[in-house]
Structures are given as C-alpha cells and as structure tokens.
C-alpha cells in the first residue's frame, strides 16, 4: 500500500511560553511513499522525523495537510483504525507479560467479525515468532532477554496483526554496534519477506543507506531530498545532504569558480566549464583524492592512519572547513610527505560544487 502525504504540516506551541512563535516540526511534506518498500526517514535529532512518523501513525494530528493510505483519506482517523504497526524506540514491551502474551496482545483486541479463536491466535503468534526467529523464547519475560531479542519481539507484536504499514522509531539505536549490524539485515529480510510498506526513522545515515529502498532526508522539519541511497550519496541537492551522508564526512573547502575553473586558494583544481564566476564550496568525498606529487591541492601532512584495506591520510589546509581533511587511498599506495606536505589531484566525479550563498548544488 502506498502512503501519500499532501502538504502535511505540524506545528507545536513553543515550550518556552515567553516565545510566541510555534515550532514547526514538520513543514509542508508533500510526497508519495511507494507501496511494499522500505523507507528510511533520516535526519539529525530534533529534525521532526519522529513527529512525521507519529503523524503517519495517527498518534499526532497534523496542523494542516492530509494523509492518504492508497486513495483513502486517513488524516483524522484514530491510530487504532488505521491498521498500522508501530515499533517503539524502547520497544514498549509490557514487562508483566510473557513474550507470547505480548505478541498475542493486539490479536485479543480484535472484535466482531475479526475476532479470532484461541487456536487461530496461537497460530498467528507462532508465525510471527517464526518470522523474527524467537520461537524458543515465547515463554520468557522481556526482562529476561537481550536488547536484540526484545527488538524482535516488538517487531513480531507489530506484525502479528498484519498491518498495512509498519512504522519503526529508531529501531536500532538501543542496540550495541555488532547487534545493530545484524539486526538491520534482519529487518531488511523481514520487510522483503512480508512485503509490508515500512517506514523507519533514524539519525544514522549508514543505517539508512544500507537497508532503505528510498531515503527521505530531513532538516528542521523541511524535506531536503528523497531518493535511492546511492542517488542521494552521489547527487546531493545541497551542502547539508552532502555533509550528512557518508563516513568519513565529505571534505568541504572554500573556493571560487573563475573562468570555467574551480580554484581553491588561487590554484585551479578542477574544470568547471559553463559555470559562471562565483564563490563556492568545494566538497570532495574522501575517496575522491589521488596522491599526486604534481597535484594542484597541496596540504599540510599530519598523519597516516592504517585501516587495513585502506589508508586514511589526515591533512590540513587553510581553506578547509572543519578539523582535518581525510583522504582515503588504497593501502599499497605510497604517500610522499617528506617536506611535510602532501599533494592531491582530484577525481572529478567525486567532487561536488555548492553555491556559497544558497548552499545549493551547482551541476557541472
């Protein structure tokens, strides 16, 4: 099932009562989420992504705009009538109930023609448990399980009522690093197996990139960019998106375009044919550097960090914005830094230009 948001806006009164301005948590969201896909709502904390999730779920009512599930307007429908499953950041498992009772809980709420018999319930519980692979844990209580297991139970509880939309709020943030990696693959598998339209919220770009079919990048309640992970990584629409995606972070320099060339510190580093003269930000992905004695970009050499497969060259430059430049190069490559400097040439397709005034992308 697809989800359509039309001019969706949510304003909150300011917490500081002296300030009259409202906080706009979600500002004019207007897009369509394709059915049967896994969508990542990505943004820094406080950007309104959880509010957006709550709006889709129905726990919050929008100030303006509409929400459609397929072609049906559900804007004012209470959450219990929307047929959504929600997984909370802290899982919200009922601590006094066993895993089986937790998963069965939503089924016992069904009334009228949807009412299930005991056997049917047990069958559905077993299916859901099998899907998330916790069949052997059904008689435990939440407190007797690890975070990862609790997470699976929470997903099973959300799935057991066969929702049309599955919503996950920061599903992996309470897990340790190793478990997070494992669980996100698990999440992808479950989504593919069930084919349920799934929206999850995260502040971790790596997480969003690795499993989403589509990423929605947000900042301060405003949608920045929506698209496939690779697309967003390769073609960010503005400096914020470019900086938010990718680790190590993209390297941003102050520069200018003059006579069809990109200059950093008066040195032409790249062709920019067709771009009118102006001040720009030059953003270079870490993998966009080539160590080259004759390269135009000369930086102060700081350090060389070995990371196994790759090597990270840490350097400094006057026009660099931020702490350290990080360039990633293959381990076997030698780095010539005898005079305390290192020079790079650039891979053009790994360099993005942004207008200094608007921070919007300048297409080459």
Partner 1 sequence: MNESENRKIEIRSAVQKRLGKIGTHLFLSLWGIIVLFPFYWMILTSVKSYGSYNSEYVPKFFTLAPTMDNYITAFTAVPLARYFFNTFVFTVVTTAIMMFVVILSAFAFARLDFKGKDILFSMFLSLMMIPNELVIITNFVTITNLDLRNTFLGLILPSVTSVFYIYLLKENFEQIPEELYKAAKVDGTSDFRYLWKVMLPISKPTIITIIILKVIECWNSYVWPRLITDDSNYFLVSNGIQEIRENGFGRENVPAMMAAVVVISVPLVVLFLIFRRKIMAGVARGGTKG
Partner 2 sequence: MKKNLTAWLCLLPALLFLLIFMVYPLVDVLIYSFEEGYNFASGKFWGTGFYNYSYVLHDPYFIQALKNTFIIVIITVPLSTGIALLISLELSSIKVLRDFFQTVYFLPYVTNTLAVGLVFMILFKKTAYSDGLISLLIQFFGGPSVDFISGPYWAKMFVMCFYTIWIVLPFKILILTAALASVNPMYYKAAQVDATPKWRVFYKITLPMISPMVFYLVITGFIGAFKAYSDEVALFGTDLNAAGMNTIVGYVYDMLYGNSGGYPSYASAAALILFTIVFTITTINLMVSKKTVYYS
Give the binding site for partner 1 (CB under 8 A).
69, 72-74, 76-78, 81, 83
72 binds, among partner 1, partner 2, none (CB under 5 to 8 A by kind): partner 1
CB 173 → partner 2: shortest distance, Å? 15
59 binds, among partner 2, partner 1, none (CB under 5 to 8 A by kind): partner 2
Determine which helix (DSSP H) or strand (DSSP E) holds 157, and give its type and residue range: helix 147-159
For residue 352, give every residue at least 6 positions away whose Cβ sits within 8 Å of its Cβ, in sequence order, or none: 236, 242, 250, 282, 283, 284, 361
Tell me how far CA of residue 337 lies from CA of 5, 223, 340, in angstroms.
Answer: 54, 43, 5
- The residues that touch partner 2, with contacts defined as CB under 8 A, are 57-59, 78-81, 84-86, 88, 90, 92, 94-97, 105-106, 108-111, 143, 157, 161
Cβ nearer to partner 2, comparing 57 with 313: 57
Q: Half-sphere exposure of 71 toward its Cβ, with a 13 Å CA cutoff? A: 0
First-residue to last-residue Cα distance in the chain = 38
DSSP 360: B
CB 21 → partner 1: shortest distance, Å? 28
Cβ nearer to partner 1, comparing 64 with 355: 64
171 binds, among partner 2, partner 1, none (CB under 5 to 8 A by kind): none
Cβ nearer to partner 1, comparing 32 with 70: 70
CB 51 → partner 2: shortest distance, Å? 14
Nearest-Å Rg of the Cα atoms of the chain is: 25
CB 96 → partner 2: shortest distance, Å? 4
Question: Tokens 């698209």 map to which residue?
Answer: 227
Rounded to whole angstroms, the Cα distance separating 48 from 220 reads 7
CB 71 → partner 1: shortest distance, Å? 9
Torsion angle of the four alpha carbons 133, 138, 141, 145, in this order, in degrees rounded to the nearest 10 = -20
CB 64 → partner 1: shortest distance, Å? 17
Q: Which two tokens stand for residue 251?
A: 């390297």
Rounded to whole angstroms, the Cα distance separating 167 from 41 reads 11
106 binds, among partner 2, partner 1, none (CB under 5 to 8 A by kind): partner 2
12 binds, among partner 1, partner 2, none (CB under 5 to 8 A by kind): none
Torsion angle of the four alpha carbons 349, 350, 356, 362, in this order, in degrees rounded to the nearest 10 = 20
Q: Half-sphere exposure of 353 toward its Cβ, with a 13 Å CA cutoff? A: 25
Cβ nearer to partner 1, comparing 69 with 354: 69
CB 106 → partner 2: shortest distance, Å? 4
Cβ nearer to partner 2, comparing 17 with 111: 111
CB 77 → partner 1: shortest distance, Å? 5
For residue 354, give every residue at least 6 positions away whose Cβ sits within 8 Å of its Cβ, in sequence order, or none: 238, 239, 242, 280, 281, 283, 360, 361, 362
Cβ nearer to partner 1, comparing 22 with 70: 70
Cβ nearer to partner 1, comparing 14 with 76: 76
Cβ nearer to partner 1, comparing 83 with 227: 83
77 binds, among partner 1, partner 2, none (CB under 5 to 8 A by kind): partner 1
88 binds, among partner 1, partner 2, none (CB under 5 to 8 A by kind): partner 2
316 binds, among partner 2, partner 1, none (CB under 5 to 8 A by kind): none
Q: Which of 341, 342, 362 is nearest to 353 (CA)?
A: 362
């Amino acid at each position: 099932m697809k989800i359509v948001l039309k001019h969706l806006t949510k304003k909150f009164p300011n917490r500081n009562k002296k300030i009259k301005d409202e906080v706009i948590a979600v500002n004019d969201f207007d897009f369509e989420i394709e059915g049967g896909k896994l969508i990542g709502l990505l943004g820094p904390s406080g950007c309104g992504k959880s509010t957006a999730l709550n709006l889709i779920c129905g726990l919050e009512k929008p100030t303006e705009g509409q929400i459609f599930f397929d072609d049906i307007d559900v804007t004012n429908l209470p959450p219990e009538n929307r047929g959504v499953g929600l997984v909370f950041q802290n899982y919200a498992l009922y601590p006094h109930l066993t895993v089986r009772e937790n998963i069965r809980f939503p089924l016992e709420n069904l009334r009228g023609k949807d009412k299930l018999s005991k056997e049917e319930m047990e069958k559905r519980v077993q299916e859901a448990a099998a899907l998330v692979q916790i069949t052997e844990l059904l008689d435990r209580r939440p407190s007797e399980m690890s975070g990862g297991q609790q997470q699976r139970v929470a997903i099973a509880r959300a799935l057991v009522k066969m929702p049309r939309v599955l919503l996950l709020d920061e599903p992996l943030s309470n897990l340790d690093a190793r478990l997070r990696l494992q669980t996100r693959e698990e999440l992808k598998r479950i989504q593919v197996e069930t084919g349920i339209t799934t929206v999850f919220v995260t502040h971790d770009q790596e997480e969003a990139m690795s499993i989403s079919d589509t990423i929605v990048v947000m900042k301060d309640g405003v949608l920045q960019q929506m698209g496939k992970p690779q697309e967003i990584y390769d073609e960010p629409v503005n400096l914020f998106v470019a900086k938010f995606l990718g680790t190590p972070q993209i390297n941003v320099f102050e520069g200018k375009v003059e006579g069809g060339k990109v200059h950093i510190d008066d040195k032409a580093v790249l062709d920019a044919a067709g771009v009118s003269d102006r001040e720009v930000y030059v953003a270079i992905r870490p993998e966009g550097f080539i160590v080259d004695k004759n390269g135009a970009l000369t930086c102060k050499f700081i350090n060389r960090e070995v990371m196994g497969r790759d090597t990270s060259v840490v350097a400094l430059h006057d026009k660099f914005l931020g702490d350290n430049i990080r360039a990633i190069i293959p381990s076997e490559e030698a780095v010539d830094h005898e005079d305390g400097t290192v020079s790079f040439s650039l891979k053009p397709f790994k360099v993005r230009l942004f207008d200094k005034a608007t921070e919007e992308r300048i297409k080459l």
